[in-house]
Chain A
Amino acid sequence: MTDTQTGQATWYETVLATLKANDVRLVTYVPDRVLTPLIKAVHEDAFFTAFPCTREEEAIGIVSGAWMGGMRGAVLMQTSGFGTLPNALASLVAPCQIPALIFVSQRGTLGEFNLGQALVCRTVQPVLDSIGIESHTITRQDELAFIVDRSIKQAVATQAPVTFILSPLLTGGKIFGA
């Protein structure tokens, strides 16, 4: 399935294909509207074990355990979910050198209508930088596969987590009133 207007793969098809190509079989998440098509797609594909968690920390813990047991995993969340994570990242994922693959659907910028979302959005990059976690804000479909594929390989090879911030420029974001 491709974008009907352009004939190109959609962002979520590219993410799904790249996870598969890198044998990332576990996907845990706390939902976000923009992530809906990706969440639906991983549920519909028997390659993946996918389920929701009650908190993003929990989702991170599960993926960390799975990695230690030999299975690669990704966590999907909204910007506000990332806001709950500094302790789990700083006291588990980073010091244990676990290549957690963290996808953050970016709310809070480029047309945000909720001030709280806008503020939590500004905490994301400083938190990542202060813990020293690699991150990429992805804005373009033509760069998506390259960034995600290469970064997953780097995360595994260097035993380091990586965060993919999915910009509204890539996903369309959430529109006021929509």
Chain B
Amino acid sequence: MNVSGTGAPNAHNAKVMNRFELTKRLVAQLDHDEAVIGGIGNTNFDLWAAGQRSQNFYMLGSMGLAIPIAFGVAIAQPNRHVIALEGDGSLLMQLGCLSTVAMQKPGNLTIIIWDNGLYQITGSQPTASASTADLVAIARASGIANSHWAADEDDFDAQVAAALNGGGPTLIAARIDGEPGVGATDRDPVQIRERFMRGLGVRRASGA
């Protein structure tokens, strides 16, 4: 069994990177209060550890729904850029959402896939992307033409910068190692949701 977390058999030129490192690089580029939806488990944990922002939504359950949730935010707030972070296993659970996003063409949506080829958090069982499935090819075939592997850290930064300029939907996939997330989110769904809504300017703090 391959537990090395190399993933993405067809992305031969893509370097294997680290999710926490790339998450920090992503967050460092966010200077317009962009919304970020973190998928279940490690994706969320690294987003949390990369520096908490009130424009982050940490999805505690509902495996596979980070992209649909981000898409919903993007519909409601067309002037804000929205980023979905999702693991390969989670994406494979809800592949149809790529087709829906492609059909509706939200210009303000970026999807980032952390492909470790693993269901890391449940015991590092290999996903289909470790051997046979190419997630970027799937995204392109779903209709998201602007889908690319990040070749290395600099390429990831450049692709994120381009995506934040608009012209989405964009999908960026990164091959990552098998490391677990470095932090752990709070576990209060109502507080997470309320803080996010304040961060998006939908709610005001009481008394404000």
Contacts and interface: CB of A to CB of B under 8 A. Distances in A.
Among B60, B73, B75, max chain A CB count under 10 A is at B75
Contacts of A97: 189-190, 193
B60 A65 contact: no
A68 B100 contact: no
Contact of B60 (A51, A62, A67, A95): A95
Among A49, A51, A66, A98, max chain B CB count under 10 A is at A66
A53 B72 contact: no
Given A51-B100, A92-B59, A66 B193 contact: no
A61 B75 contact: no
A98 B193 contact: yes
Interface size class of A (residues with CB under 8 A): 20 to 34
B200 A69 contact: yes
A53 B104 CA distance: 10
Nearest to A54: B96
Interface in B164-208: 189-190, 192-193, 196-197, 200-202
A51 B61 CA distance: 25
Contact of A92 (B62, B94, B99): B62
B71 A68 contact: no
Contacts of B65: 57-58, 60-61, 64, 88, 92
A26 B196 contact: no
B68 A62 contact: yes
A95 B100 contact: no
Interface string A54-96: 1101111111111111110100000000000001101110011
A67 B72 CA distance: 8
Given A54-B96, A66-B72, A61 B103 contact: no
Nearest to A90: B61
B26 interface: no
B100 A54 contact: yes
A62 B71 contact: yes
B193 A71 contact: no
Nearest to B196: A68
Contacts of A68: 57, 69, 72-73, 76, 193, 196-197, 200, 202
B96 A65 contact: no
A61 B76 contact: no
B3 to A, nearest CB: 27
Contacts of B96: 53-55, 58
B76 A53 contact: no
| In the A-B complex, the 3 residue pairs with the closest CB atoms | A65-B72, A91-B61, A54-B96
Interface of A: 26, 49, 51-55, 57-71, 73, 87-88, 90-92, 95-98
13 contacts: A51-B103, A55-B96, A58-B100, A61-B62, A61-B97, A64-B72, A65-B71, A66-B72, A67-B72, A69-B77, A73-B72, A87-B62, A96-B193
Given A65-B74, A69-B75, A87-B63, 5 more contacts: A54-B96, A61-B97, A70-B201, A90-B61, A95-B60
